[in-house]
Amino acid sequence: MNTITSALERPVPSAGTPAADDPAAGLAVGTGRAQAKAILFGEHSVVYGAPALAVPVAALPAEAEASFAADGVDRLYSALYNGRLDRAPERTLPTVTAITAARAAVGATAGTTTGAAQRPLQVRVRSRIPAERGLGSSAAVAAAIVDAVAALTGVTLTGGERHDAVQTAERAAHGTPSGLDARAVRAAGPIRFQDGAAVPLLVAAPLHLVIADSGVRGRTREAVQGVRERREADRDGIDRIVGALGELCDLAVDALAEGDTATVGAAMTEAHALLNALGVGDPALDHLVSVAAAHEALGAKLTGGGRGGCALILAADADHAATLSGALHEAGAAAVWTTMVAATDPRGEAPAR
Ligand code: MEV
């Protein structure tokens, strides 16, 4: 069973590590790191202005290393493709776009189109985040690349510039990203996200989450497009669902602050039904949600773009999460991870813009 436990109290560095001499290659190396995210509330409805609630999943990191290419050719090394950037296949477009966007951001900030920002790059990506599973793989890889390139070139990007570069890559990945994923993959803890702004949340009692992979590839671009088409055909009906999803999100935000995990779980299960009504469900996800319910999960729902990908399940405690993991694996989940969201009180921190 693929089970990883992560504690989210460990903040992930939000900026890349400054370039350092790499004795092996004799070259300067800049590194960047981000992590997976899981959406508890607000996938799809966030696109129409409703609030969303997401948590980072630190146990599933994405890391990038950037160095200057000694032979003058841009190159990418990753699980998907190794080779020249100009010959990279279509499926690497989001990653290639992240490199291009990082270079452009660094060049614009440095106020020059020459120099370090223009030198050919070698970018190596290592990610533990399964792709196309609704866990923010594309945003995390892009965030790691942007920070690695900035660190290599010695340019300090603002939070807004880093975010914009990730969003450029996310547009290549799935069209019209709300920005939720780009924020959550860099967050230190749970966030409420709405209209581009992320606010860290007060969590009074830990959340024990189980993420179960249906094994079916999620299709965020098609799912987002599908909701848009449904909304064009029935604006009032879809807006009612969007509104209800937004209310569930804020009910859960309040419940989190009170340590009322039972209410959070019940709202998750309601959200799953509403997401099915939006047309982004999948029978494999319904199966995982019903297995979780049969094992007394506090709540369960699809997470991320849907139409495949993962189910997110709320357990009562760590032992219950382990029991649920076993049951979900036996019921056919392709992989199962557990993650613990620690109680946290971020009051006083400014919202990230
Ligand atoms: C994808 O992880 C989340 C969606 O809401 C799309 C978005 O927010 O851009 C489905």
Q: What confidence tens digit (pLDDT) does each residue in 115-158 have?
A: 677 889 999 999 999 999 999 999 999 999 999 999 999 999 99
CB distance 198 to 192 below 8 Å: yes
User: pLDDT tens string for the chain (353 positions)?
Assistant: 333 433 222 333 334 555 544 434 445 999 999 999 999 999 999 999 999 999 999 999 999 999 999 889 999 999 999 999 999 999 999 999 999 999 999 988 766 544 677 889 999 999 999 999 999 999 999 999 999 999 999 999 999 999 999 999 999 998 899 999 999 999 999 999 999 999 999 999 999 999 999 999 998 999 999 999 999 999 999 999 999 999 999 999 999 999 999 999 999 999 999 999 999 999 999 999 999 999 999 999 999 999 999 999 999 999 999 999 999 999 999 999 999 999 999 875 544 54
- CA atoms of 301 and 181, how far apart (whole Å): 18
- Residue with the smallest CA separation from ligand 1 atom 10 is 305
What pTM does this model have? 0.91
Q: How far is the CA of 47 from the centre of ligand 1 (A)?
A: 7
Q: Which atom in ligand 1 lies closest to the alpha carbon of residue 223?
A: 10
Task: Give the C-alpha separation, 184 to 260, whole Å.
Answer: 23
Distance, CA 85 to ligand 1 centroid (Å)? 27
Ligand 1 pocket at CB < 6 A: 43-44, 46-47, 134, 177-178, 180-181, 220, 224, 304-305
Residue of 178, 179, 180, 201 whose CA lies nearest to 189: 201
Distance 24 CA to ligand 1 centre (A): 40
